[in-house]
Every structure is written in structure tokens, then in C-alpha cells.
Chain A
């Protein structure tokens, strides 16, 4: 049962895409996400959101007004049949309706109940609100992203929300594995702030092991031996992760007559970009990269086993042959115009599948309320008339 909003909708997709029967509970009239663009041109409002279509693949949809007592009753009945409940309401909201973990697990002891919130169920900020941007800021990732002379910056897209969902999915899978052995369910409390804070790679270790806060380094990525350079046709990422990579780069520049004084012994340290000579080296490297294309630098680097690659622009993404060759990009029947991203993992015995596209509003009301919960067609009609469904 997926009762979640923006924080958890991707977690519901991760479960649905590996075969769980995920029922999305929408408010009558449709989930708020249906109003979020981008939109596809040839569909009706509320059914045209690509945002909705992406995040709700393989789910079924029912509508239910859980602000009504009939609605909470029905939700309780559904929850009695559920293996997992996924929700992202404010702490305490569902408990006040008799739909908290303590209530639902009484009869359904194997239930795994995951609550995804901005700051978790405990602590002084438990009732604080947060968007993706605020989660990214409070998780410590934003401060280090961007340029020294700009404001801190977010990553593109909804990475704080998706990281929360990714972390929650791990917690739920651990709980499901434990349930297989013991029959016991449990409560999973996931905080967006913590999810982001533990996804920052160098931010915590830098402070905890050097006493200095990591800072924004623009294109230099953590101030190390990794940078994104302007070249003839865009930008290219060059990582001199080994002494050989740095030496090869200098040698290639020298062959082009553009190494300046970089062949001097004082530049032998591949970490030198960090030091006092940084600006001088950057000037030389970029003067050189500007004389080559992304493909030239990428191919030559890769041929020498260096992790160099192009900065791909958005309009090039659908042309990536690797994604087509491996079947990562999918064009499902019935949506010939649309390209869906596929599985994050390829597993030899375990199907990630795009079985069904995102549901219409309440598309499965009759199937779930009547055929599965046993309501009569008249019961359902009455619930619809009363605004419960």
C-alpha cells in the first residue's frame, strides 16, 4: 500500500518494478503529482503528467478520502491484507486516525510499515517541513555544491527525495528478509535529512577526520584530481586518478606544443591541482582542452584506461547506444512515443519488468474494492456518491 507523496513515490516504484503488487492510494480527484509537469501533449489533464507516469509504473490505483471515517475503515481493511505500508505523512497523522503501525500491526503482525518524513519520527525537528531543496540543504550536500562565489546549489532533479526512497527501499528489503525467517514485521523510520547526510561521500569524513568543513569547489569536484574542462564542443571530465594518467595528460599536451612548463619536475605530483599552482595549471590545461573535442579526449583517455568522459547534454541522452544495447531504455507498447528508463540492476534470475504503465485515477477501484475486498457494486456506488471513493 503506497500512501506516500513526493518523498516515497519512488520507493513505491522500486517495489512495484520488481513485482510487488503496489496499490497507490489517491485522493478522490487524483494525486497532486498528476499536476506536476512535464506533460505529454496528447492526453487529458490529470492523465498527462510524465512525472506521474514515471514514478507510478506497475502500480494499481484506487481513490480514497481518508479524512472520512468510512475512508479510514476501508484503509484499515486493506492494510489487513498488506505486506508493506509506505507513507510520508507528518509524524502522528496516521496514528491519530487509528492507522499507525501500532494499530495495523496488531492483527497483521507481519506488516512492514515504512514512514518517510523530512526529519524522522523523533527529535526536535520532527514536525518541521521540508521540500527536496530543504532536505538537500539540511543533509549537508548543498553547501559543497556550486562555486566558491555562488550560492550553494542543489543537484538537478529531485535527488533528496529519491535518496530517501532509495534508503527506505533498503530498510524495507531488510525487514522483508527478516520476515521470511521469523514471520515478524516491523516499523521502518526514514529521515530525508539522514538519507542525504549519509550520501555525501566526503562531507562528513572530511570534517570528522581533518577538522575542516568541505567547501564548494565548482568544477574541481572536491578540490582533487578531478575536473570538468571546457573543450571544442562542450565540456569533458578528466580524472587523473593515477600518476600515469597525469603524466599521459601532460605528455599529450606537450605533443601538441601546449604543455607550457608542466613537464617540470615540480609538477610531478598528480594532486598538484589543489595547491598554489592550481590556477596556473588550470589555465594551461583548459587552453589545451579547447583545441580538442569531447570525443577525442574521451577516446584517447579510455584507450589508455583513464576514466575520462564527455559531459553529455540533455539532448544527447536518448542517443546513448549503451542504454539501447543493454535494453535499459524501454519503449512500452501503447506508448510508442515515450522512452522509459529501465532497471537500476540486471539480475539473472530476478525480473525487473515494465508490466503495466502508471494507472489512471482510481483505475482499479472496482477490481480492488469489489473483487478483492468483497464490496458490492451498490456499496461502491454509495461510497462514490458520498465522496469517500
Chain B
């Protein structure tokens, strides 16, 4: 896909780090995918007894398949039946040779296997354990369950996302899972740095709710500072609640559901914008003369700006405005991103890796390009339980006899 090919020969920053990965659905696997890209060996522990979990509950759909490939590229998969002593025993032996254990089950699961932090640190004193959950592993809400949208609703994002005159739409996709993934990976990297400095492992308790609440930015400060504000904080559509400028929105262009985002903050940008669109008469009206008056008349201004964009292609309008120094961008669709956007293509944002059958599968790449340790993904997502030999014979050194015993004891059922 991309011509910007990630160096396959560079050093891998996390080479030699092994992660025993019990995570499922989105947030957990996307956290460990970040580590995998940098050379950490991720052993995904799956189970015949659970859902076909890796891509989430819809992994039997094309979209679910895509998510499995995207979030699990480069990992290894083994199948263990954790309801059996033999399965649990093998998991404990894997903990002993791992640097990180990651999980995002509900709070009772890991303790029931003896694999909560107290359990795993007895096996490996300097282990780093990442526990991710909706609300954290303490406090009155610790046993509540959530999906991405539950957390978006509960944290306040859903009610604030949308237009003032429509009901809340909320984020269209599971932003809180992506945020949980980033947060979990950050915490593991911090813990690895800490371990390199001190020799100590630790337990990481990520509440995805807290991770989302941090991204409300200064809202908690605002609410506490302005308790007397009776109108409260409301949805603002495509405008900013503070320091917005105008125009600041998405405007319809030629074609079917084509849009451009345009933002003008300063007087200088306004002059550039007006010149670029051919100085229509309305643009010289007094009510649009200053930042404050443009904001005051933003609704009218939006209508007038759209009267111009309606006759433009979104791509041509972006180019025209950007050439004039105005921040403008096409509202890209999934198809645009995959096929049409020259910047993403040049940057190599997407990559193809072979799956187990050699079929090329498209995955996303890291949004940070590191000059010395760019990372590398050479394998697609593993088939369920595909790496039984690699892990149990190769890493744990189990003999054929031991493997047969474990199988008889139900470890792989």
C-alpha cells in the first residue's frame, strides 16, 4: 500500500519483552498491538470455552474479521482451557517467563485463576501486570460492566457530542476503547522504564472511565469554578465552547454527502479566506469585520460560507484555501482514507501483512514515526490457537509426553 516503507531492519525497542496477553475485545488488544509493533512478543491466550473473542462479539462478520487482523497483527495465539488445573498450570508457567501480564476481564476472573497481581508476583516478583476495566478495580463502581459506548455515555462525552438542537449523538465509534488502548500502552511503557531503573515490577489499574475523564480537559475546572452558571455546559456542534472563531464548521460541497471542514480564527486568516473565495459582497459587511462580530453572527456566516462551498468540490476547495493559508480539510470517508488521500498514502498509514493463508490483510500503522526504532509488523493476526507448538514446546520446552498429558487433562479443550 504505502510507499513509505517501515524499515524492517531497524532495531526493535521492545525486543526481548514478552507479554502474556489475556485481553479481548478492543481496548486490551489495541494496547498490546502497540507493544507488538515495537518487537515485544505477545502471546495471546485464548479459549475454546469463551466467545471467539479476539475481534469482539462480531468477529464472525467481515468487519469483526478486520478488527481481529488490525488489533492482533504480529501476535501469537494459544488456546488454554483455564477451567482446568492443567490449563491454569500452563498459564502459571508462562507467567514465570513473561515480563508483562495483560488482562481486561471483569474483576473476579484473574483472582479465580490465582492470577491476580498478588498471584502473579509470587510466580515472578518483577512482573508488570496491566489490568484494564471500565471503572477501575476499586471504589463503589468496580463491579459495573461497560462497553465503549457505556463509558462514553457515563463519562459525559455522549451528552456533549452533537448539535445544540438535536438529541446527543455521542462519538460514532468506540473512542473510549481506543483511549483505553493508548492509556494501557503508555502505562506499560512507564512501568518498563521504571523496572529498568529500579528492578521493580508493579500493578497497573487502568479505569477506562478515568482515561476518558482526563480527555474532558479543563471541564472539571470550569464546572467547579463557575458553579453559578445556570445554563451549564452544552453541546456546541462543530464549534468550540471557548476561543472558537468563525467560520468554524463543516460545509456541504458538490457531490453526494461531500463536506469540507473550515476554521478561521484571526483577522489575518479571515482576509486570506475572503480573498481566496473571490471576495463576495457579503464578506465585506460590517457584522463580519471582527473576530467577535463573526462569532456573534456565526449562524448567518455559516449559511453564506456554504453558499460558496456548495459549488466547489471538497478537494479543490481544500487546495484553494490551504494555498491561501487557511486551515481547511476534506471530511474524509473510509474509502477516501484507503484509496484517495495522497497524504496518508505517502505516509504509509496503512500496511498489508499476510495472514496465515498468505492473504494480504490491511492494518493500521503507528501514528508516530521513530527514526531509529521504527518498529515492524511482518505477520498478520494469528489463527486461533495457531502457536501451540511455538509457545508450549518452543518457549516452555514441554516434551511431547507433557503435551499429551496436558491434553488428556483437558488443558486445550
Identify which of A150, A159, A210, A341 contacts B175 (C-beta below 8 A). Answer: A159
Q: Answer yes or no: A168 CB below 8 A from chain B CBs.
A: yes
* CB-defined A-B contacts under 8 Å, sample of 26: A35-B243, A38-B221, A124-B346, A125-B342, A133-B261, A142-B261, A142-B331, A147-B166, A147-B169, A153-B161, A153-B169, A171-B366, A174-B370, A191-B367, A201-B177, A237-B154, A311-B153, A311-B158, A311-B168, A339-B224, A341-B220, A345-B206, A345-B210, A346-B204, A347-B202, A349-B194
Knowing A129-B326, A344-B206, the reply to whether A197 touches B150 (Cβ < 8 A) is: no
| B26 CB contacts on chain A under 8 angstroms | 201
| B223 CB contacts on chain A under 8 angstroms | 314-315, 317-318, 339
| B144 CB contacts on chain A under 8 angstroms | 302, 309
| B139 CB contacts on chain A under 8 angstroms | 321-322, 325-326
| B198 CB contacts on chain A under 8 angstroms | 349
**Would you list which residues of chain A between 158 and 215 have a CB under 8 Å from chain B?**
158-159, 162-164, 166-171, 173-178, 180-182, 184, 186-191, 193-195, 197-210, 212-214
| A288 CB contacts on chain B under 8 angstroms | none
Extra contacts besides A147-B169, A214-B333 (16): CB < 8 Å? A38-B221, A53-B221, A54-B218, A55-B217, A145-B169, A153-B250, A157-B215, A166-B186, A207-B334, A237-B149, A310-B154, A314-B219, A329-B220, A337-B225, A346-B206, A347-B205
Q: Interface with B: A68-76, A219-227, A260-268, A364-372, which one?
A: A219-227
- B234 CB to nearest A CB, Å: 8
Q: Answer yes or no: A137 CB below 8 A from chain B CBs.
A: yes
How far does the alpha carbon of A151 sit from the alpha carbon of B198 in the complex, in Å? Answer: 52
Identify which of A133, A206, A329 contacts B63 (C-beta below 8 A). Answer: A206
Identify which of A197, A315, A348 contacts B367 (C-beta below 8 A). Answer: A197
Q: Which of A41, A174, A178, A221 has the most CB of B within 10 A?
A: A174
Interchain CB contact under 8 A, B238 and A154: yes
Q: Answer yes or no: B297 CB below 8 A from chain A CBs.
A: no
| A36 CB contacts on chain B under 8 angstroms | 242-243
Interchain CB contact under 8 A, B370 and A51: no
Closest residue on chain B to residue A318 by CB atoms: B223
Closest residue on chain B to residue A38 by CB atoms: B222
How far does the alpha carbon of A271 sit from the alpha carbon of B64 in the complex, in Å? Answer: 14
Interchain CB contact under 8 A, A186 and B370: yes
| B85 CB contacts on chain A under 8 angstroms | none
Interchain CB contact under 8 A, B173 and A174: no
How far does the alpha carbon of A317 sit from the alpha carbon of B148 in the complex, in Å? Answer: 18
Knowing A173-B190, A221-B149, the reply to whether A189 touches B368 (Cβ < 8 A) is: yes
How far does the alpha carbon of A199 sit from the alpha carbon of B252 in the complex, in Å? Answer: 25
| B333 CB contacts on chain A under 8 angstroms | 140, 143, 207, 213-214
How far does the alpha carbon of A237 sit from the alpha carbon of B137 in the complex, in Å? Answer: 22
Q: Answer yes or no: B22 CB below 8 A from chain A CBs.
A: no
Number of residues of chain A lying within 8 A (CB) of chain B: 151
Interchain CB contact under 8 A, B185 and A339: no
Knowing A167-B367, A170-B186, A206-B66, the reply to whether A323 touches B204 (Cβ < 8 A) is: no
Interchain CB contact under 8 A, A155 and B175: yes
Interchain CB contact under 8 A, A176 and B161: no
Identify which of A130, A137, A209, A224 contacts B65 (C-beta below 8 A). Answer: A209
CB-based closest 7 A-B pairs: A171-B368, A205-B66, A207-B334, A209-B66, A156-B160, A237-B153, A137-B261
Q: Answer yes or no: B19 CB below 8 A from chain A CBs.
A: no
How far does the alpha carbon of A151 sit from the alpha carbon of B140 in the complex, in Å? Answer: 40
Interchain CB contact under 8 A, A184 and B205: no
Interchain CB contact under 8 A, A198 and B329: no
Knowing A50-B218, A317-B220, the reply to whether A207 touches B338 (Cβ < 8 A) is: yes
Q: Which of B163, B184, B329, B344 has the most CB of A within 10 A?
A: B329
Interchain CB contact under 8 A, A175 and B13: yes
Interchain CB contact under 8 A, B210 and A342: yes
| B149 CB contacts on chain A under 8 angstroms | 221, 226, 228, 237, 239
Q: Interface with B: A22-30, A115-123, A275-283, which one?
A: A115-123
Number of residues of chain B lying within 8 A (CB) of chain A: 154
Interchain CB contact under 8 A, A177 and B217: no
Interchain CB contact under 8 A, A216 and B153: no
Q: Answer yes or no: A89 CB below 8 A from chain B CBs.
A: no
How far does the alpha carbon of A134 sit from the alpha carbon of B198 in the complex, in Å? Answer: 43
**Would you list which residues of chain B between 70 and 84 have a CB under 8 Å from chain A?**
70
Interchain CB contact under 8 A, B369 and A341: no
| A228 CB contacts on chain B under 8 angstroms | 149, 153, 158, 167-170
Knowing A190-B368, A228-B158, the reply to whether A157 touches B216 (Cβ < 8 A) is: yes
| B160 CB contacts on chain A under 8 angstroms | 156-157, 314
How far does the alpha carbon of A190 sit from the alpha carbon of B367 in the complex, in Å? Answer: 6
Identify which of B153, B200, B206, B336 contacts A140 (C-beta below 8 A). Answer: B336
Knowing A128-B322, A171-B368, A204-B338, the reply to whether A41 touches B259 (Cβ < 8 A) is: no
Q: Answer yes or no: A100 CB below 8 A from chain B CBs.
A: no
Q: Answer yes or no: A235 CB below 8 A from chain B CBs.
A: yes
Interchain CB contact under 8 A, B140 and A348: no
How far does the alpha carbon of A147 sit from the alpha carbon of B262 in the complex, in Å? Answer: 20
Identify which of A50, A150, A241 contacts B222 (C-beta below 8 A). Answer: A50
- A49 CB to nearest B CB, Å: 8
**Would you list which residues of chain B between 259 and 297 have a CB under 8 Å from chain A?**
259-263, 265
How far does the alpha carbon of A208 sit from the alpha carbon of B69 in the complex, in Å? Answer: 11
How far does the alpha carbon of A175 sit from the alpha carbon of B374 in the complex, in Å? Answer: 10
Knowing A177-B193, A313-B156, the reply to whether A137 touches B233 (Cβ < 8 A) is: no
